[in-house]
Structure 1
Amino acid sequence: MTCEGYFGHRTRLYEIDLYNQPEPISKIIKKSYDEGIRGINIPNNKSIFEGLDIARKEGAEMEIIGTVGHTKVNYLMPDMKKARQDADCLKDIEVLSKYDSSIMLVDDFLVDAYDWDYVSQVLQEIKDSGALAGIITSRPFETSRQLADGKLDSNLYDFYMLPINKLGYTMDVDFFIDEEQEEMSNLLNKINKKIIISRILACGIQTPKEAFTFLKTLDYADMVAVSVASEREAEQTFGTFREL
């Protein structure tokens, strides 16, 4: 599961329900654990960590995949320059290390500015901390093309998280059908990293059954990160995943 802060058209409603509220967050984590989930993708966020601490005390031990450099920059109109100014990557790495995060991913707003020298520095800091390193993108085609062309040293990262869904929603293409799907498969095979699929539910537009049925067709998916915002959503989403 992931604690990504963008849920498409439902984002504001979830902010009201969960923002700065560790108890509801802990209940979602605990319910997800009860549904068989053992890993969580989180940024350096006090409320989320407090919720995680509560859930852990109740037996919900989660492996952490941390996000480094996450900021409050608006997802709909991202200011990449401001994101870099606001990011405190060293602090994030320090905090995530205290929570034994074995994998840390550089935030998409830092990656998608395509300053590969800067991204390389952050990845090296992650590796120096003892964690495995990776990157996140919100522009799967443009970023994948650059990675396939060798713009980023492949020795610096092992994981690559990118949005993929049947509708092409929040992807940098108009459609995600046969031609686009083939190109993406070829790009990811060339990049040859562990692939983490995000936004497979198209931010809630697709049902879990629709999304996970499509996920099964993606031979390059090693992991999937799914956002849920209530205990009920966790039960429905992860229950469907198990059934398929």
Structure 2
Amino acid sequence: MFKDYLHVNNKKIPQTLLGTSPFIGAAQFGHRARLYQLDLYSQPENMAEIIKKSHEMGIRGIQLLPYEPVIQALKLAGNDGFYMDVVGTIRPGHEMEDIEMLSSLKASVMLLHADITDNCKWEELGEYLDIIKNTNSIPGLVTHTPFKTTQSLLESPILNDFEIYLMPVNKLGYLMDTQEFLPDQRSQLRNLVMELDKTIIAKKILAAGILTPEDAFEFLKTLDYVDAVALGIASKKEAEQTFSLLFNE
């Protein structure tokens, strides 16, 4: 499952991406966030080892949050011959800086961070999407609120200005804008996403580690609108276990 490549705008995008939220110690990991900051973010060589192990497991793409230590880790892995196709996220407050950096890394895809997208400021979003197009990267958006933002995008003037949509989805509805992710809500989200008609990358499928990979991937099989997945990995062992299971599904 998710072993192949997508073809978007004449570019090949790996269906499975190494997520980097653990690398920066993102807040959704709770008490583990501080440990990740100490063990990963503060030690790029440890992140590089995870990148290399993921590459050995067949992963050819990274969903890059372009913080300097993470970029350093990517370059360390690349220097050892472990190249990753970059699907990069542009951070709020660092838009032009990140576009320039991701362009230098030859990112196949550039995505506007959810904190930019979910404001639904269409003129601003349209301007950034145009700039991304001019770098020869595929433009896309990230959301933290797939119900609300997807509905707004369907009625927006930028509907035809982006190709890829990165959104949280998991069995629990964790870190999604729904209190319950029951069959009615799942059907509603599917209908919205199918109408949006974009290439969909799922994130938070493991619900920040609350779900086991086995449980998460069984649910992933039911999501016929998901084209690719980004999986945050915090250790070499986790990379081996998670990607082995995914590819054997």
Give TM-score scaled by structure 2 length.
0.88
Alignment of 1:38-117 (within 5 A): 38-68=60-90, 70=91, 83=92, 87-117=93-123
The more displaced of 150-159 and 131-140 is 150-159
Correspondence for 1:8: 29
TM superposition outliers: structure 1 runs of 4+ over 6 Å: none
Other structure's SS at 1:229 match: coil
TM-score w.r.t. the length of structure 1 is 0.90
Of Structure 1 and Structure 2, which has the larger fraction of its residues in strand? 2
Q: Deviations over 1:172-219 (max 9, x none)?
A: 101111101101110011000000000000000001111011001100
Matched to 1:11, the amino acid is A
How far residue 152 of structure 1 moved from its aligned partner, in angstroms, is: 4.2
- 8 Å Cα contact 1:2-1:41 kept in structure 2: yes
Return the alpha-carbon distance in structure 2 between the equivalents of residues 200 and 206 of structure 1. Answer: 8
- Size of the aligned set, in residue pairs, is 227
Shift of 1:20: 3.0
- CA distance in 2 between counterparts of 1:160 and 1:24 reads 29
Equivalent position SS for 1:183: helix
Partner of 1:189: 194
Give unmatched runs, 5+ long, in structure 2: 1-17
Structure 1: segments with no counterpart, 5+ residues: 71-82
Compute the displacement of 1:171 (Å).
0.5
Q: CA deviation at 1:3?
A: 1.1
Tell me the SS of whatever aligns to 1:154: coil
Q: Which residue of 2 aligns with 1:135?
A: 141
Distance 2:65 2:39 in 1: 18
RMSD over aligned Cα atoms: 1.2
Aligned with 2:177: secondary structure?
A: coil
